[in-house]
Structure 1
Amino acid sequence: MTINCYQLTPGGITPLRISASTLDDMTRELPQGFYTTFTTLAGGTRVLGLKSHLQRLYIPAHDLGLKPALEEAALPQRLAELVKQNLPRESRVRLILTREAGELYAGLEPFTPLPETVYTNGVHVITADLARRNPRIKDTDFIAQSLAQRQMLNRDVFEVLLTKNGAILEGMTSNFYAVRYVIARRSETTTKQSSEDEASPRRSIRNDSTLITARYGILPGVTRRIVLRLARGQGIRIEYRAPRMDETFDEAFLTSSSRGVVPVVMMDGEPVGQGRVGEVTKRLSKAYKAYLQQHAELIGA
């Protein structure tokens, strides 16, 4: 597959001759800068969290006193024009705002959804001792920094989790969450009708869940904010700390804009929980898909 790359300016869209088979390859060919990646929806007309994606470019540029070549308000219309080329398929889009000159580039590829088995069977991940230099900014420098880890991805390894001092921070291209069940038991005394009229204890069991995810040292994902909001709405407790590699979890999952909620069933060759997709992950995945259909923003509106 060849990635189509363009420079976006106030005057229009200029195709570039860059030989790249992936968005990462394309990114390494361009000047360093800030980037964001997302997938279109509804026949190339909508994007979930489009404003948040664009702010990943324009907020750090503003903080540096950098004047982008294309104003943020003009970018959605350029995007609407670009994604038409992949119709009727959806597009996976990467935007890059260069750090030095404020130039804006876009890379496009037809979006291929993950096989449904990824969501029903879960995925395997591995860990690596690596962290972003500046975790609050999505900088293209990290793509080069993590090149060795990206080469570990294959049909058996879905994602590499970044760790520091035994703490799991995030995935290279995703956010990470662990789930632990809390089972509370209480005894209630009821009268059991018997020949001796003896009282016998009856136990009721209440199942709760805690979601554990790092607050610091990570890139706050667009999908992450939505999933955490959905989790709170379902009564799931959120514990903001980095899960430890030596902890035992009942479930785990990843989130990203292009892939949604992805169950993790194996980590470093060891099963997570029972080694199958858990109920909390299933519920959040279903809720996220519903949210996706209802709240995606219209491109160019």
Structure 2
Amino acid sequence: MIPAMKTYQISPDGARELALTARNLDEVSHQLPQGLYTTFRTYSNGTRVLGLQAHLDRLYQPAAVQEITPAVSEVELRRFLAETCRRAGGESRLRLTLGVSDSPGAVFVTIQPFTPLSAETYQGGVHVVSAETARKSPRLKSTAFIESSADLRKLVRDDVFEVLLCRNGSVLEGMTSNFYVIQAGALITSRSGILLGVTRRTLIRLARKAGLEVEYRAPDLDEPFSEAFLTSSSRGIVPIVAIDEKSLGNGVPGVWTKTLMSAYDAYVEKYSQKI
């Protein structure tokens, strides 16, 4: 397993490790050129990823629209990822960054050992808080948002897992996740004003397959929903048991949430692909 976080700049000439000092991925992003990014984890001892092509599309498709030529092709980047994850051993968490301003087309890869959330977190659920704010460019996953949301991120601490981004009391998404509620047999989640997460696509398919209707709108904080949860590529499905001072259900993850968590785990096992 890699002993610590490492960041590389990838070019046709190879990979150059950067001498950065950082405690987490966001601190790395602050030290790189502003750009697009995507974050994900590996499975099966670092050999497989769920939805890798969708993560690469987050970088390469907007780059094409903006007429930015990445320093390396998707094929070359995949080759580097496979070799780096193999050498790392165990599971890794990765962040890919594509420069769009100061260094247009520059490609960076940050890799660190992956530490999963505890079983207690998934079994007991988490507490989140809400804030009246939203992304300026929600369809692009830009490191500019990491910088602009620095003060919000300070709200995340031991007893607060995530910050929900709201508009007029309606929840759009989590700061680093997508947000959903269950109400009267329906899965409710916003489709506008949000970053369309890679895991979100899978979750919606699984919800329909499980028998839930899917309603696209931003749920209001004061609605009487019985269950809520978050999704992200690194954390999967995380149940919410309290929002601000409001407890959900009986203060434990609900039946639908647990059903979807099991379905997602099975989906990862079946459909994660070799890098």
CA RMSD for the aligned pairs? 1.0
Q: Is the 8 A contact 1:248 1:273 kept in 2?
A: no
Match of 1:295 in 2: 271
Match of 1:197 in 2: none
Match of 1:156 in 2: 159
Match of 1:97 in 2: 98
Match of 2:142 in 1: 139
Residue type of the partner of 2:28? M
2:232 pairs with 1:256: yes
Match of 1:196 in 2: none
Q: CA shift at 1:158, angstroms?
A: 0.4
Q: In the TM superposition, what whole-angstrom CA distance separates every residue of 1:191-241 from its partner, at most 9, and x where no partner exists? A: xxxxxxxxxxxxxxxxxx111000100001111000100010111001100
Q: CA shift at 1:42, angstroms?
A: 0.7
For 1:233 and 1:2, how far apart are their aligned partners in 2?
Answer: 40
For 1:91 and 1:3, how far apart are their aligned partners in 2?
Answer: 10
Residue type of the partner of 1:91? S
For 1:243 and 1:174, how far apart are their aligned partners in 2?
Answer: 15
2:72 pairs with 1:70: yes
Q: CA shift at 1:38, angstroms?
A: 0.2
Q: In the TM superposition, what whole-angstrom CA distance separates every residue of 1:122-175 from its partner, at most 9, and x where no partner exists? A: 000000111111000100000011101111111100000001111100001110
Residue type of the partner of 2:93? R
- Choose the corresponding residue for 2:40, options 38, 41, 53: 38
Residue type of the partner of 1:34? L
Match of 2:22 in 1: 20
2:39 pairs with 1:6: no
SS across alignment from 1:19: coil
For 1:115 and 1:86, how far apart are their aligned partners in 2?
Answer: 22
Residue type of the partner of 1:98? G
For 1:42 and 1:12, how far apart are their aligned partners in 2?
Answer: 26
TM-score, scaled relative to structure 2 = 0.96
Q: CA shift at 1:2, angstroms?
A: 4.7
Aligned residues: 271
Match of 2:54 in 1: 52
2:231 pairs with 1:275: no
Match of 2:109 in 1: 106
Q: In the TM superposition, what whole-angstrom CA distance separates every residue of 1:243-279 from its partner, at most 9, and x where no partner exists? A: 0112121000000101111000000021012221100
Q: How is 1:122-201 mapped onto 2 (pairs within 5 angstroms)?
A: 122-181=125-184
Residue type of the partner of 2:67? G
For 2:5 and 2:27, how far apart are their aligned partners in 1?
Answer: 9
Q: Is the 8 A contact 1:38 1:93 kept in 2?
A: yes
Which runs of 5 or more residues in structure 2 are unaligned? none
For 2:158 and 2:87, how far apart are their aligned partners in 1?
Answer: 29
Match of 1:191 in 2: none
Q: CA shift at 1:3, angstroms?
A: 2.4
Structure number, greater radius of gyration? 1
For 2:265 and 2:4, how far apart are their aligned partners in 1?
Answer: 29
- Choose the corresponding residue for 1:210, options 186, 196, 218: 186
Structure ranking higher in strand proportion: 1
For 1:134 and 1:78, how far apart are their aligned partners in 2?
Answer: 30
For 1:71 and 1:86, how far apart are their aligned partners in 2?
Answer: 22
Taking only the aligned residue pairs, the percentage that are identical comes to 49
Moved over 6 A (4+): none
Residue type of the partner of 1:93? L
Which runs of 5 or more residues in structure 1 are unaligned? 182-208
